[in-house]
Structure 1
Amino acid sequence: MIDRPARIAVQLHPQHADYGQIRDAVLRCEDAGVDIVFNWDHFFPLNGDPDGKHFECWTMLGAWAEQTERVEIGALVTAVGYRNPDLLADMARTVDHISGGRLILGLGAGWKERDYVEFGYDFGTVGSRIADLGAALPRIRARLAAGNPAPTRDIPILIGGGGERKTLRLVAEHADIWHSFSDAPTLVRKSGILDEHGAAVGRDTATLVERSAEVRHGSPAELADPFVAAGATLFTIGLGVPDLDLSLVEEWVAWRDAQG
């Protein structure tokens, strides 16, 4: 048994599909019993035809907030360099209200050079993008606190990334959820580093920060035990939208339900 309830998420890839297909995929995920539906924050497809169909993240989240009733929604993850942090916070506050308090605010430093270059943003370096994330987080928190009406809840902040010296320090300071992008052995090691950062900043990250893992390539029979042993309680399956196959998702939902 795991102390924090297990949760199952699906990341729908908003590419190579008409929007009606994406809308239907969200409903199918909610009907399948998942806890969270994520998209991603890019401007072009990440695989397949690089100039294929693709849709913008936050406009889509507003639509998902209206069409769903139960699932939490969010981006896995929003690159802070694409939008003014205060504007991003106000977008999040608005989607929080549209959804009735079901938004997860996923944030990251960004990495896809084409997104930056073609949309006129400064790509910079890995270090400068992580520094931008560090500068954005306090501004986002301050703007959320200043909004009228206030958010319906303390919007959970998810930070994605695994940089041991800088990114995990930001996770320790700010995150409610950490998405590690790693396998189970790496998650164990980096969780220890995260907790060291937590001790340094006076935050009990072992208790306060939920660990999120990607399980798109395996069933719960293969992956659940090692990831649970590593501390993960949020399990995310990434799926393409055309010809959506929820069989793996259904296995993970059944496993979650069996945890009691």
Structure 2
Amino acid sequence: MGSDLGFGLVLPLLEQPVDGSTPRWTEIVALATQAEAIGLDTVWTADEIVWRFPEWSGPRGWWECLAMTGAVAARTSSIQVGTWVLSALQRNPAMIANAAETLDEISGGRFVLGLGAGHDGGGAAEFGYPGGRTVSRYAESLEIVVPMLRGETVTFEGEFHRAQGAEVVPQGPRPGQVPLMLGGHAPRTMTLSATHADIWSAFATTSSLPSAFEPLTHQLDQICESIGRDPATIGRSVGVFVEPGDADVAESIGFGVAITGSNDQIIETLAEFSSVGVTRVEIVPYPNTMATLERLAPALSALI
């Protein structure tokens, strides 16, 4: 069948919502190498601390994003490896650029820097991160991250962030060329994506179905046009839950309406994303295990 869409796999860094079981490194790296073997183009690592959902029996924690990204990059050989998405709230902006260059070196030029504003829930307060004005902090962070990522020396004095003659050295295999993917669901963050990013990123909140993303891609088109950017020059990546079969467990535990059904039905639904302005689909299998990925493999192989 084939498709013009790109497809990625979001790796399981979160403790299982239902029973709290921990995804072990052996499982995570096995999923990454299996995604590579299937022919997916990217594996992604999320940057979160702790999640609490009313449907869950307790809080669930996450493995640390940058450490896991470096490990996955070192154990794969051809698939892209990206952060989905790194939290600007939790990171010094100059060090974000330094980490991106380092990860591009480890991966041999396969790293994608996904970056977003982050949020002051989800364990941020417990870990000592500041609360409030997360988008303003993020906007300032980009004033340092973006030029440094593109090889410039940066001096910046803002309300939240500062740098004095900061530059990234040493440089990896693609100086100034690491792809930048910026997350955003609201007009202000989407405008930052349209201004700076190679790829705009969003994820499913209430529904993973293609129709749920059409208003966002339409809004992105309008924002691009308003700032003088050709909408065709920015990629559109969306993260969705895919649960083969008809159990609907993902929805019952707070992840919204998932993409479900037989492999043929899943293929049909995933193929529809191109018609709503999406260029990449990042898949979160439910449950996020090797058994689920193997069950989905025929559908994914038919799409790529």
Indicate the TM-score class for this superposition, using the shorter chain for normalisation.
0.7 to 0.9
Counterpart in the other structure of 1:226: 272
Counterpart in the other structure of 1:212: 237
CA contact 1:211–1:231 (8 Å) conserved in 2:
yes
Separation of aligned partners in 1, 2:82 and 2:58: 24
Q: 1:50 to 1:11 in 2, by over 3 A?
A: farther
State how 1:102-251 maps to structure 2 within 5 Å: 102-111=110-119, 113-124=121-132, 128-144=133-149, 145=151, 146-153=167-174, 154-163=177-186, 165-182=187-204, 183-204=209-230, 206-215=231-240, 216=242, 217-218=258-259, 219-239=265-285, 240-242=287-289, 244-247=291-294, 249-251=296-298
Counterpart in the other structure of 1:24: 30
Structure 1 position 91, deviation (Å):
0.5
Q: 1:27 to 1:226 in 2, by over 3 A?
A: closer
Q: 1:120 to 1:27 in 2, by over 3 A?
A: same
Separation of aligned partners in 1, 2:83 and 2:106: 16
CA contact 2:146–2:196 (8 Å) conserved in 1:
no
Structure 1 position 31, deviation (Å):
1.9
Larger of the two Rg values belongs to structure: 2
Q: 1:32 to 1:42 in 2, by over 3 A?
A: same
Identity of aligned residues (%): 28
CA contact 2:74–2:106 (8 Å) conserved in 1:
yes
Separation of aligned partners in 2, 1:96 and 1:25: 21
Deviations 1:130-168 (A, max 9, x none): 1122111121122221323334331111122210x2011
Counterpart in the other structure of 1:73: 81
Unpaired runs of 5+ residues, structure 2, are 15-21, 152-166, 243-257, 260-264
Instruction: Number of aligned residue pairs: give it.
Output: 251
RMSD: 2.5
Q: Which letter does structure 1 place at the counterpart of 2:273?
A: F
Counterpart in the other structure of 1:9: 8
Secondary structure in structure 1 of the residue aligned to 2:203 = coil
Separation of aligned partners in 1, 2:122 and 2:60: 14
Separation of aligned partners in 1, 2:98 and 2:52: 27
Q: 1:18 to 1:138 in 2, by over 3 A?
A: same
| TM, length-normalised to structure 2 | 0.74
Counterpart in the other structure of 1:256: 303
CA contact 1:213–1:236 (8 Å) conserved in 2:
yes
| TM, length-normalised to structure 1 | 0.86
Secondary structure in structure 1 of the residue aligned to 2:229 = coil
Separation of aligned partners in 2, 1:242 and 1:151: 33
Separation of aligned partners in 2, 1:171 and 1:220: 29
State how 1:47-86 maps to structure 2 within 5 Å: 50-51=58-59, 54-86=62-94
CA contact 1:18–1:53 (8 Å) conserved in 2:
no
Separation of aligned partners in 1, 2:233 and 2:82: 19
Structure of higher RCO (CA pairs closer than 8 Å, 6+ residues apart): 1
The question of 1:93 aligning with 2:90 is answered no
Deviations 1:203-241 (A, max 9, x none): 21x221111223423254341343111121211111355
Deviations 1:110-145 (A, max 9, x none): 136132111100121xxx111122111121122221
Unpaired runs of 5+ residues, structure 1, are none
CA contact 2:82–2:114 (8 Å) conserved in 1:
yes
Q: Which letter does structure 2 place at the counterpart of 1:198?
A: C
